[in-house]
Amino acid sequence: MEKQVRFGTADLEPDPWRPSAWLVSVDGVLQSYVDLDDPTYLRMPFTVWMAQVIERHWPAGAAISAVHVGGGGLTLPRYLAADRPGSEQTVFELDGPLVDLVREHLGLDAVPGVRVEVRDGRAGVEGMPDDSADLVVVDVFRGGDVATELATVEFVRQIGRVLRPGGLYATNLWDGGDLGFALRAVAAIGEVFPHVLVFGETGVLIKLRPGNLVVVASSRELPVAELAAWAKDYPSSVNCLTPPQFADTCGTAPPLTEADPQVRLVPSVRPWRRD
């Protein structure tokens, strides 16, 4: 089914291989994969990477307070609600018609502990009290366009302010070519958080093709060795890199700031294949 939403034409498509699963796309770009019967089933690789870090950051099953900038079909909020019962989550999603579509057809209101606000995510985070969340996830795309303004030092500082001591920040980036945007985004995160890891597929990291990069950060140490071992054994190619390893592989760039924004074009997000 199709519906005109704020940032394009949204489409809900059933997965022929999983009767309870749906794909949410906007202008042909997959935004979310949602299994209504099993929200812990994560199909899109970047959601798996985030979940692996989250699972190692807190004791299994422990409820947490989470803020999501960008909602789509609410893949990660659904996952956390099922995997960590009792978690309280706020989702800031700017596309109101998309929220309505997900509410009507994908059971948004049945997800326990989740509150969705139709508003700009940056304004939402800036309006939150200090030390009020355990987890902040940023996953924002406008159709196939990358929201580079949500990767600046200034916004990352707002996220650091909102997080409780030892909290976790996770963001889903997209880049290609020389990775100029991703390099600047990682540098910006490193200006705020002392502990940072970058996840990405080899073809993206060696600049052969565009793709997702997940960056996670915290004020306390991350389980680097454990995550690197998991990535090495994971059936689908993924690398877990510390900032020095990322710099050795991809290079460096100055941090992204409001005074020095991203002006070079970031490649548009490509349609995701169901392999």
How does pLDDT run across 189-206, given as a tens digit for each residue? 999 999 999 999 999 999
Residue 143 has what pLDDT?
A: 66
Q: Given pLDDT bands bounded at 50, 70 and 90, which one contains residue 151?
A: very high
Beta carbons of 36 and 20 less than 8 angstroms apart? yes
Residue 270 has what pLDDT?
A: 63
What sections of the chain are H helices per DSSP?
45-57, 75-83, 96-105, 121-126, 153-162, 180-192, 202-205, 224-233, 243-250
d(CA 159, CA 137): 9
Q: What share of the chain in percent tops pLDDT 90?
A: 87
Residue 232 has what pLDDT?
A: 93
d(CA 136, CA 234): 25
Task: Dump pLDDT digits (tens) for 157-169.
Answer: 999 999 999 999 9
Residue 275 has what pLDDT?
A: 45
* CATH of span 44-250: 3.40.50.150
Give the H or E element holding residue 214.
Answer: strand 211-218
Helix/strand/coil percent split, the chain, to 5: 35, 30, 40
Beta bridge partners of 2: 11
For residues 57-86, b (16+ Cβ closer than 10 Å) or e, as one string? bbeeeeebbbbbbbbbbbbbbbbbbebbee
Task: Dump pLDDT digits (tens) for 204-227.
Answer: 999 999 999 999 999 999 999 999
Domain ranges of the chain: 44-250
Give the largest Cα separation in the chain, rounded.
48
Beta carbons of 75 and 47 less than 8 angstroms apart? yes
Instruction: Please give the residue that has the higher pLDDT: either 30 or 1.
Output: 30
